Amino acid sequence: MHTDGDKRDDEKKQKKKPAGRPRSGRGTGAGEKAERREWYQLDLSAIVYPTLQRRDFSSVYRLSVVLKEEIRPQVLQQALDLTLPRFPTYKAAIRKGLFWRYLEPNDRPGPFVQEDVKNPCQPMYFKENNRYLIRVYYFRNRISLEAHHSLGDGTGGMCVLLTLTATYLRLLGYQGIENGGFVLDINEKPDKEELEDAYMRYANAKVCPPRLEEKAYRVRGTAEPFYTLNIIDGIMSVSQVAAVAERYHATVTEYLNAALLEALLKKQKEDGGRRLRPVKIAMPVNLRRFFPSITLRNFITMIYPGVDPRLGEYTFEEIVQQVRNYMRYHLNEKLLKGDITTNAETQRNPLIRVVPLFLKDLVVRMFYTKVQDRNSSAGLTNMGIMKVPEGMKPLIERFDIYMGQPFSRRTNCAVISFGDTLTVNFASSIVETDVERYFFRRLVRDGIHVKIESNR
């Protein structure tokens, strides 16, 4: 159903439709004409996500903050209306050009705060919700932000969520909350570097390393009905997990990766297939750790720690060592810059630039389905320790993060910490929970106390 606002925007589009890639909105001066529209190129990662859109799949992730008091939805809506203009690439709609998609400013009413739903991260269709690509939910003392990955990664989304939360708390009368870190000043204009495609700034290696990844083991499971996302949360002590990881001479991320790999190895053995395959995890890396950037858009790349059971049986200690060696080899500026450069070459190629969008979509979708998605058995991301302004700390209980609906039958795992609370959030689209069960059994066997929550 189209609103009057949709019709007016369509008329404007017919009068002045960008041919191919629209002009970037960077560097707009205050003295320029007020009616000038700002267009934002999709960043290097964001180009892929709309291509994978299906009726039953969108690249949507969820970030949640759990406060210590009940949410007041009317105040939360007021805070959202005040906060979102500070983030122009989130207050945006996605559009198609002849050669590329792009983001345009969205001045339609909304988005509107909603009561939470049982199955989060539902598909996000580009023409619904007044074309907004974010949703804000509340339930009891929880505020949740869902965002389409074409707008930005978890770091950008967390800036939106925590700035919204800070604004909400100030409206309730908590005036001692300062700006800083993930909390931005809603009265400031965005820095132009917040809106940049940081990939293109650092894609300057002199060689493009090839990617030769072998197909990984795929979890077999019973598909859940459309719109069903199974959530299993494990809540534990940061200090306990860190002490166990240190016992294995590993970081927390390395230890949790090893626990998930062990679970996948057990699942593959249990499946009893005739042919063993490598077990690998798709792990996003926040490139801001290696390359200075304050971009609120996507700035991540993927690495694939794993083990190959065809080489023999692995003890858990050997899995940890394999992960540790892999991570410490791959997580360095030189290799990551080469990976960025390989990704950027396709966008820079003048021949590819003039290929019509529908052909680009066809090729990218085929490559992702036949190659990229088969490179891993599960996903795991760790946002690390959340740092918030001192005035907010006493008001927050914990955070949650969900990677969202998997593209294929599998489970995704996300980790986030606040204070001494570490949360592991699993999201899957299959009925069986063997992988999650094996994962948490390893943690409990190592002496970690785990509290389990689920939407089942």
- Does residue 348 sit within a domain? yes
- CA 173/CA 203 separation, integer angstroms: 46
**Per-residue pLDDT band at 206 (split at 50, 70, 90):** confident
Q: Average pLDDT in the 414-427 region?
A: 96
State pLDDT tens for residues 422-432: 999 999 989 99
Is 145 found in the same domain as 91?
yes
State whether 155 and 302 are in the same domain: no
- What is the residue whose two structure tokens read 């190895």? 265
Q: Find out whether 423 and 402 touch, Cβ atoms under 8 Å.
A: no
The predicted pLDDT at position 275 comes to: 87
Bridge partners for 300 per DSSP = 286
Whether the pLDDT of residue 7 is over 70: the answer is no
List pLDDT tens digits, range 173-195. Answer: 998 899 999 999 999 999 999 99
pLDDT tier for residue 19 given thresholds of 50, 70 and 90: very low
431 and 338 inside one domain: yes
C-alpha distance from residue 271 to each of 68, 97, 281, 408, 448 (Å): 43, 46, 18, 18, 28
In a domain, 15, yes or no: no
pLDDT band at 414 (very low <50, low <70, confident <90, very high): very high
Beta pairing partners, 411 = 428
Same domain, 272 and 401: yes
Indicate whether 218 belongs to any domain: no
Average pLDDT over residues 311-337: 95
Whether 413 is covered by a domain: the verdict is: yes
For the chain, counts of helices (H) and of strands (E)? 12, 16
The residue written with tokens 């966008």 in the block is: 347
Residue 383 and residue 38 in contact, taking contact as beta carbons nearer than 8 Å: no
Output the CA–CA distances (angstroms, integers) from residue 361 to 119, 262, 323, 356, in the order listed.
28, 36, 34, 9
pLDDT at residue 37, rounded to an integer: 63
Structural domain range at position 159: 38-184+191-201
Contacts 24+ apart (CB under 8 A), 204-209: 204/337, 204/341, 205/334, 205/337, 205/338, 205/340, 205/341, 207/338, 207/341, 208/338, 208/341, 208/342, 208/345, 209/335, 209/338, 209/339, 209/342
Indicate if 195 and 259 belong to the same structural domain: no
State the DSSP string of 96-151.
E-SS-EEEEE--SS----EE--SS-S----TTSGGG--EEEEEETTEEEEEEETTT
Q: What is the pLDDT of residue 223?
A: 87
Q: How would residue 327 be classed by pLDDT, with cut points 50, 70 and 90? A: very high
pLDDT of the residue at 366: 87
> Is 60 exceeded by the pLDDT of residue 26?
no
Residues 260, 171, single domain; the answer is no
pLDDT digits (tens, 9 = 90+) for 249-305: 999 999 999 999 999 999 999 888 778 999 999 999 999 999 999 999 999 999 999
Q: What is the DSSP string of 167-202?
A: HHHHHTT-TT---BTTB--TTSPPPGGGGS-HHHHH
Same structural domain, 259 and 129:
no
Residue 119, pLDDT score = 87
Q: Which residue has the higher pLDDT, 382 or 37?
A: 382
For residues 240 and 195, membership in a common domain is answered with no
Residue 22 lies in a domain: no
Rounded CA-CA distance 378/283 in Å is: 9
Asked whether the beta carbons of 354 and 220 are under 8 A apart, the reply is no
Per-residue confidence (pLDDT) for residue 3, from 0 to 100:
43
CA pair distance 288, 380, nearest whole angstrom: 18
Instruction: Please check whether residue 230 is in contact with residue 455, taking contact to mean a CB–CB distance below 8 angstroms.
Output: yes
Closest CA to 106 of 90, 94, 95, 91: 91
Q: What is the CATH number of the domain that holds 104?
A: 3.30.559.10
Please tell me which residue, 201 or 354, carries the higher pLDDT value.
201
**Is residue 401 in some structural domain?**
yes
Instruction: List pLDDT tens digits, range 346-394.
Output: 888 888 888 888 888 898 888 888 888 888 999 999 999 999 999 999 9
Instruction: Tell me the one-letter amino acid at 40.
Output: Y
Average pLDDT, the chain: 89
Bigger pLDDT: 254 or 405? 254
Same domain, 252 and 195: no
Average pLDDT over residues 210-215: 78
Alpha-carbon span 423 to 350, nearest angstrom: 45
Q: Note whether residue 273 is domain-resident.
A: yes
Q: How many domains does the chain have?
A: 2
Mind giving me the DSSP string for 386-411?
Answer: ----TTTGGGEEEEEEE--S-SSSSE
| Average pLDDT over every residue of 89-112 | 93
The pLDDT of residue 13: 41
Q: What is the mean pLDDT of residues 385-406?
A: 93
Helix H or strand E encompassing 384:
strand 378-385
- Is 150 within the bounds of a domain? yes
pLDDT at residue 115 greater than cutoff 70: yes
Q: Which pLDDT score is estimated for 370?
A: 80
CATH at residue 273: 3.30.559.30
Based on the domain organization, do 332 and 372 belong to the same domain? yes
Between residues 200 and 19, the one the model is more confident about: 200
pTM, to two decimals: 0.89
Q: Is 439:450 a contact under the CB 8 Å cutoff?
A: no
Q: Are residues 175 and 234 in the same domain?
A: no
On whether both 288 and 423 belong to a single domain, the answer is yes
Q: Round to whole Å and give the CA distance between 32 and 24.
A: 15
